[in-house]
Amino acid sequence: MPILNRLLQDLPRNARDRLLGECEPVSLAFGAVLCERDRPYRHVYFPLGGFLSLVARVSGHPPLEIALIGSEGMLGATLVLEIKTARLQGIVQGAGTAWRIPASRFRLALRESPALRDVTRRYLYVVLMQLSQSTACTRFHEAEARLARWLLMTHDRAHSDRFQLTHQYLGDMLGVRRSAVTIAAGALQRRNLISYVRGRIVVVDRKGLEAASCECYRTAIGDYERMFD
């Protein structure tokens, strides 16, 4: 399996080879739950294709997506802080492949490799910034701009112009009613930025979608590039 995860690529070759020697390639099936809130991590994942959602759940309400993880990141970065339990649920939202390592082996690798600790800490900072920006975005920005942002983030991680997303799913992820997603998606489609038919979204005009997005997308990209340029 090729190394297509940016965090792994950022490691010195010796450190990367040692870590990959402990990893196994796995398939990520849509809808699979990779970690549960308040339960110990069993594995750490470095996505290659597919992508994951970090989801918050509150009793009596639909799930709310907090962050996305694709080939730019990893699931389980808080282990670098010796925090062994997950605070958010991790769900596969785009099928693909990943490198997987048992959490216990990853903790050992962190102790043995300063380079791995450095990369993981920098990525954890990016995740914290993404979480805080997502909170502000949910509070202050309109559904259309937030939808454009979320589609751009998905586009970056799906490595394809086409992906399956229903209005109900998007509403749950954005924390809005399904009708709000229908209106927002219709507005983006009328501007020929996307095409949407029966749950299939096609990104038609990437630049136009970036212009329609709120500033939070560019902020997130900037945070990552500063840490991993």
CATH 2.60.120.10 is right for the domain spanning 6-137: yes
Ramachandran region, residue 198 (left: φ > 0; alpha: ψ -120 to 50; beta: rest): left
Residue scoring higher pLDDT (23 or 131): 23
Residue 112 confidence class, pLDDT cut points 50, 70, 90:
very high
- The whole-chain average pLDDT of the chain stands at 91
Give the per-residue pLDDT at 75.
98
Give the per-residue pLDDT at 3.
54
Distance from the Cα of residue 140 to its chain's centroid: 21
Q: Which of 110-114, 151-155, 172-176 has the lowest mean pLDDT?
A: 172-176
- pLDDT tens for residues 26-66? 999 989 999 999 999 999 999 998 899 998 888 887 777 88
Give the per-residue pLDDT at 141.
87
User: What does the pLDDT average to over 77-83?
Assistant: 96
Tokens of 162: 């086409």
Give the per-residue pLDDT at 49.
86
Assess contact for 79 and 110: CB atoms under 8 A: yes
CA dist 176 → 25, 82, 173 (Å): 36, 35, 8
Give the per-residue pLDDT at 51.
92
pLDDT of 2 strictly over 60: no
DSSP code per residue over 59-93: TTS--EEEEEE-TT--B-GGGGGT--BBSSEEEEE
**Residue 196: strand pairing partners:** 201
Gyration radius from the chain CA atoms: 18
Task: Name the segment(s) of the chain with CATH classification 1.10.10.10.
Answer: 142-213
pLDDT of 189 strictly over 80: yes
Task: Name the segment(s) of the chain with CATH classification 2.60.120.10.
Answer: 6-137
So what's the architecture of 142-213 in CATH?
Orthogonal Bundle (1.10)
Q: Distance (Å, rounded) from C-alpha 45 to C-alpha 98?
A: 6
